[in-house]
Amino acid sequence: MHQEDPVVKTARREALAALALWILAMTYTVGYCYLYGYRLPPDEIRLIVGVPDWVLWGIVAPWTVCTLAAAAFARFLSDADLGQELDDAGDDLFGEKESRDE
Partner 1 sequence: MSESSSGAGSLVALLVFVVASVWLGAVAQRIVKRGSFLRGYFLGNRGLGAWALALTATVQSGGTFMGFPSLVYSHGWSLTLWIASYMMVPITGFAMIGKRLAQLSRRTGAITLPDLFRERFASPALGVLTLILVLFFMCFMMVAQFKAGAIVMKVAWPGSGALTLDEAAGDLDYYYYLGLTIFALTVVGYTAIGGFLAAVWTDLFQSVMMLVGVMILLPLVVGAAGGLEQGSRIAVEQTGPGFLSPAGYSADGRTFLPLGLAFSFFFVWVYAGMGSPAGMVRVMASKNSATIRKSIVLLAVYNMLIYLPLIVICICGRAVIPDLAKTDEIIPRLALHTTSSLPGGSLLAGLILTAPFGAVMATVSSYLVVIASGLVRDLYQRFLHPDASLAQIKRMTYAAMILVGVVAFVANLRPVAYLQALVVFSGSGGAAAFVVPAAMAAYWRRATAAGAFAAMAGGACTILGLYVTGFLSADPGIGQATVFRPYFLLGLDPILWGLLVSLVAGIVVSWLTAPPTPELVSRMFDAPPAAGECLVQA
Binding positions for partner 1, 31-90, rule CB under 8 A: 33-34, 37-38, 40-43, 45, 47, 49-52, 54-55, 58-60, 62-64, 66-67, 69-71, 73-75, 77-87, 89
Residues 25-42 as b/e (b if ≥16 CB within 10 A, e otherwise) read eeebbeebbeebbeeeee
Give the separation between CA 6 and CA 29, rounded to whole angstroms: 35
Residue 8 binds to partner 1 (criterion: CB under 8 A): yes
* Min separation Cβ 36 and partner 1, Å: 9
* Min separation Cβ 95 and partner 1, Å: 7
